[in-house]
Amino acid sequence: MDRAVSTSHSDPDLTTGATAAGATGATVPPQTPRDDRSIGDIVGDVAKDLSSLIRQELELAKTEIKQEATKAGKGAGMLGGAGLAGHLTLLFLSLFLMFVLADWWDDFKWAALVVAVLWGIVTAVLAMTGKKELQHTNPQLPETQQSLKEDVQWAKAQKS
């Protein structure tokens, strides 16, 4: 029941990898063009392609960072304008409070002193709260340091 499989290059079954005629069910692998490059050439090409890919990824990252920085800059500018507007609002509300108190007491000096003392209290509370928050910060970034140490250990393990 075995039939001989033709190895002629004109046989269409060899070039397509289809099953040869007959009941054997054996497939003939498709012929691929032979690459005459040396292993060094192939490794060099892969390294060149990888280098090109990394450069392209860095360029993409730079472009995205520039776009995001532009958006962040616009947002920061708006927040700066809002801060200035908020400052002016507080200034005029303070003046309003001073004038209201001056109408009650018939003296601007005491009204101005009361408003100044109120703002002094607000300043002291904000300063103490900010100082406590700064004391709880850790600028050494322990998680990042640990991650970098692990990366160095991994790289050393890969090297050996």
Instruction: Flag the least confident range among 71-85, 96-110, 133-147.
Output: 133-147
> What is the structure's pLDDT at 29?
57
Of the pLDDT bands very low, low, confident and very high (cuts 50, 70, 90), residue 31 is low
According to DSSP, residue 100 is labeled: H
Tokens 């947002």 belong to 75
Neighbouring CB atoms inside 10 A of 110's CB total: 14
Q: Is the pLDDT of residue 9 over 90?
A: no
d(CA 57, CA 51): 10
For residue 121, which amino acid is it? I
Torsion of CA 44, 46, 52, 56, to 10 degrees: -170
According to DSSP, residue 145 is labeled: H
> What is the structure's pLDDT at 2?
45
Q: Which of helix, strand or coil describes residue 66?
A: helix
Of the pLDDT bands very low, low, confident and very high (cuts 50, 70, 90), residue 89 is very high
> What is the structure's pLDDT at 4?
45
> What is the structure's pLDDT at 99?
95
Of the pLDDT bands very low, low, confident and very high (cuts 50, 70, 90), residue 151 is confident
